[in-house]
């Protein structure tokens, strides 16, 4: 029997900021600032005794001793064991399980000499992406940008609607629809699930506004309405979903697998949007994808935090026939999606038909620019 591959070390690389591009005020965080840049961030790296190295989104520096204690000497293929152990110590924090889980899957793909989407049975080498807006903007500005995106080949865009008056939200979508016609999928995000209770930044919707908005968007031919109510308002969400024909979507802020089980059993959403950086990485996301398929739901994971997280999500989307789109945060010029991949030597690229070719190398199939590493621990 061949010797099993073993983990020998775990390293964390901090990356240089190539260019500071300024800030955007996200629609979901009124008064807040989202700093945009090229480069920067961190990458976790898993080394093995067979010379195979895997990379993933950075983890908290404070976790490194725990990760090394419990993973060094172990088989990287034992992802279930590692997820449970690391999850126990991290509590599933945003910079905890996910990065190491993605790096382990990168090792598995490289050791198997297959791109991850092929390892998981995926038959699509190209997947459609949608341009996910960041800012709250005027109807005129959004309509103008929509035309530009359509001319560039994008098949879909996601609009944020957070105006105080519902009429302004609807006018934004109306003007975009008038500008692009029926040749582009319009996705709409209310971002009403930012907190676990009844508070969040900006305007707070009640059930009546959610229902009235959903019906208006349905009449405008929108593909889905995302997060129209708080993340645990399952009963109200299921009631809303039953009252409209347009898809209701959500799940990016939900962490536990048991939450997604309830969502599909109760028909809370037609389309699930789990976030790998929240659910603990690819291991759990694959389970949620199977759950969605079994219950006849679609799945389009949240954006993955850009860079390696988004690349990981791309492989999942390509492996799922019931996944319509890859989400790419795209708010040009300073929030251009390409800035999020600027630390990679072979970044994801949206081509003229609005599709992203999957990396063909083993594992994630991408490499970081090691010249950008400024510190390693």
In order of their start, the domains of the chain are 7-114+368-376 (3.30.390.10), 118-357 (3.20.20.120)
Query: What pTM, to 2 d.p., does this model score?
Result: 0.96
- What is the residue whose two structure tokens read 């400024």? 374
- The 8-class DSSP code of residue 19 comes to E
Q: Are 303 and 28 in contact (CB under 8 A)?
A: no
Q: What angle do CA 146, 149, 151 make, to 5 degrees?
A: 110
Q: What are the tokens at 371?
A: 């010249």
Over residues 88-111, the pLDDT tens digits come to 877 655 567 899 999 999 999 999
Q: Are 103 and 44 in contact (CB under 8 A)?
A: yes
Over residues 3-33, the pLDDT tens digits come to 899 999 999 999 999 999 999 999 888 888 9
Per DSSP, the residues of 185-219 read: EEEEE--TTSSSSS--SS----HHHHHHHHHHHHH
CA dist., res. 139 & res. 135, Å (int): 12
What mean pLDDT is reported for the chain? 94
Q: What are the tokens at 3?
A: 């010797």
Q: Which residue has the higher pLDDT, 264 or 85?
A: 264
Three-class SS of residue 333?
coil
Q: Which of 103, 63, 132, 68 is nearest to 363 (CA)?
A: 103
pLDDT computed for residue 92 by the predictor: 55
Q: Are 304 and 338 in contact (CB under 8 A)?
A: no
Over residues 254-285, the pLDDT tens digits come to 999 999 999 999 999 999 999 999 999 999 99
Over residues 125-141, the pLDDT tens digits come to 999 999 999 998 899 99
pLDDT computed for residue 196 by the predictor: 66
Residue 67: count other Cβ atoms within 10 Å of its Cβ.
24
């Amino acid at each position: 029997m061949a010797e099993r591959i073993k983990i020998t070390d775990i390293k964390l690389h901090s990356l240089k900021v190539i260019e500071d591009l300024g800030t955007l005020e996200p629609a979901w965080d009124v008064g807040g600032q989202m700093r945009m840049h090229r480069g920067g961030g961190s990458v976790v790296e898993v080394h093995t005794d067979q010379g195979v190295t895997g990379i993933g989104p950075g983890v908290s520096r404070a976790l490194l001793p725990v990760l090394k204690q419990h993973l060094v000497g172990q088989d990287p293929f034992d992802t279930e064991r590692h997820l449970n152990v690391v999850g126990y110590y991290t509590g599933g924090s945003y910079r905890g399980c996910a990065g190491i889980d993605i790096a382990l899957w990168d090792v598995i793909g490289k050791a198997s000499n297959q791109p991850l989407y092929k390892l998981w049975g995926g038959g699509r080498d190209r997947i459609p992406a949608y341009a996910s807006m960041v800012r709250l903007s005027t109807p005129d500005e959004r309509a103008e940008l929509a035309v530009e995106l359509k001319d560039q080949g994008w098949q879909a865009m996601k609009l944020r609607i957070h105006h105080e008056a519902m009429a302004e939200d609807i006018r934004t979508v109306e003007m975009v629809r008038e500008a692009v016609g029926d040749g582009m999928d319009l996705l709409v995000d209310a971002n009403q699930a930012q907190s676990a209770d009844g508070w969040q930044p900006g305007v707070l919707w009640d059930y009546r506004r959610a229902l009235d908005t959903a019906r208006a968007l349905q009449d405008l031919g929108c593909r889905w309405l995302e997060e129209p109510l708080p993340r645990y308002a399952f009963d109200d969400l299921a009631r809303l979903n039953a009252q409209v024909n347009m898809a209701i979507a959500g799940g990016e802020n939900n962490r536990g697998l048991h939450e997604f089980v309830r969502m599909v059993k109760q028909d809370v959403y037609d389309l699930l949007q789990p976030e790998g950086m929240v659910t603990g990485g690819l291991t759990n996301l694959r389970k949620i994808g199977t759950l969605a398929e079994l219950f006849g739901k679609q799945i389009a994971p949240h954006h993955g935090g850009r860079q390696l997280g988004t690349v990981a999500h791309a492989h999942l989307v390509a492996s799922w026939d019931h996944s319509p789109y890859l989400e790419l945060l795209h708010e040009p010029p300073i929030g251009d999606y390409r800035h999020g991949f600027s630390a990679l030597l072979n970044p994801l690229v949206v081509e003229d038909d609005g599709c992203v070719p999957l990396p063909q190398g083993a594992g994630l199939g991408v490499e970081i620019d090691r010249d950008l590493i400024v510190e390693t621990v």
